[in-house]
Amino acid sequence: MNDPQQKVLNVGGNSKKIAIPAQYDGWQHDLLDIDPSNGPDIIADAREMSALPAASYDAVYCSHNLEHYYLHEARKVLAGFKHVLKPAGHAYIQVPDIQQLMQHVVAKKLDILDVLYQSPMGPIRVCDVLYGHQGKIEDSGEEYFAHKMGYMPSSLQTLVLSAGFAVVALSVSSLNVTAIAFMQQPTEQEMSIFDIKFQN
């Protein structure tokens, strides 16, 4: 998995200063983003990835970006992932887990403006997870920073499988759900590296 020729496309990652998972250490890391301010390698709308060269990446990494599209648009984004991935490639997708968020809000009796946790961007409120970071939307004036869809583990799995990926792995962490979607059955090495259960 650490062949220096392997390439990962970071979709909507904002900046290469933001770390990506250690599984991609040593890979060629290309950043695709619609916002040109942080110098992405590819300035593009993720809904239009079919315009990129086909089968050119071993992996797509997409953290906290898929929720910025309406459901029908997310299907286009996932189709773009499949388009750029090599036959043995995979997509690593992470989104906020709305199921955990709802449980946390009810258990703690939180208001939509209450702070959930502190981040490098400052305090993150319930509304920021649901609708997008309000300060960033206000400061930028850009609607693409808004959240237009939310996911729970089951809905994310259903969406990814319906996009035509052969196998999807799910992992849940604090307020996040991760799906690793493979174009074909993963090898034992890939399964051990990601260390999560795979479901057909």
141 within some domain: no
DSSP E strands, the chain: 7-11, 28-33, 42-43, 57-63, 85-96, 115-119, 122-125, 167-173, 176-182, 198-199
20 within some domain: yes
Q: What is the CATH number of the domain that holds 20?
A: 3.40.50.150
In the chain, the number of structural domains is 1
Q: Model's pTM, two decimal places?
A: 0.91
Distance separating alpha carbons of residues 67 and 187, to the nearest angstrom = 29
177 within some domain: yes
One pLDDT digit (tens) per residue for the chain, 200 residues: 445 589 999 999 989 999 999 999 999 999 999 989 889 999 999 999 999 999 999 999 999 999 999 999 999 999 999 999 999 999 999 999 999 999 999 999 999 999 999 988 899 999 999 999 999 999 988 888 999 999 999 999 999 999 999 999 999 999 999 999 999 998 888 877 786 655 44
8 Å CB contact between 95 and 67: yes
- Pairing between strand 7-11 and 122-125? unpaired
113 within some domain: no
Q: Which domain holds residue 75?
A: 7-96+149-199
